[in-house]
Amino acid sequence: MRARSQSILSWALALGALAAPVPARAQATEAKPETSTLRDGQRDFDFLIGRWKYHLKRLEKPLTGSTKWLEFEGTGECRPIWDGDAQIDTISADGPSGNVQGLTLRLYDPKAHQWSLHWANRKNGVLAPPPTVGSFDEKNGRGEFFDHESYNGRMILVRYVWKDITPHSARFEQSFSEDGGKTWELNWITTQERIDK
């Protein structure tokens, strides 16, 4: 009965509010169109265009408590495609496990104002699903990209970070999280230096 009385009271208040006169000033005011706060990030990865020398560090066994890092040295090149709406980045690096050849396909979505990053290595010959998606923060120049993927039979959160970007160098990091992003384990670090302009 109490719930019914509260319901009737709520309806009566709502109807009263609808019947109340609206001040003339409020009636003349039109709603302003909502402006987009998303910025165009189409050129965010232009700093990568060109040839690079890479130093890679990869955690040997992520999410196991391992502290052993494997190191690789290599070179690569980034080229724009589709008038800068996409890029293809290739790398060849040598380390303890042999030669690794890979590529990253970056696609810019102008509606979402986000990049999707797709990785493939020559050994597997396929683009690894899913893409890692995100954008750069204009204030600090840091790019963050995320995805959910299966790793050793369980779902994890993956984060890519681009930072410390200058005209001649950049740093990339990959981290995994088993707890939905509360904690992260860094498992891949790439530092790169430009070979030419």
Per domain, the residue ranges of the chain are 46-194
The domain defined by 46-194 folds into Lipocalin (2.40.128)
User: Global pTM?
Assistant: 0.78
d(CA 197, CA 194): 7
d(CA 30, CA 135): 34
Question: pLDDT per residue over 75-93, tens digit each?
Answer: 999 999 998 889 999 999 9
Question: pLDDT per residue over 136-181, tens digit each?
Answer: 998 889 999 999 999 999 999 999 999 999 999 999 999 999 999 9
Alpha helices in the chain (DSSP H): 2-19, 24-28
- C-alpha separations of 99 from 74, 92, 93, 154 in Å: 9, 7, 6, 28
Best CA proximity match to 114, nearest among 93, 143, 90: 143
Question: pLDDT per residue over 23-46, tens digit each?
Answer: 343 444 444 444 457 788 889 999
Q: Report yes or no: 115 and 126 within 8 Å, Cβ to Cβ.
A: no
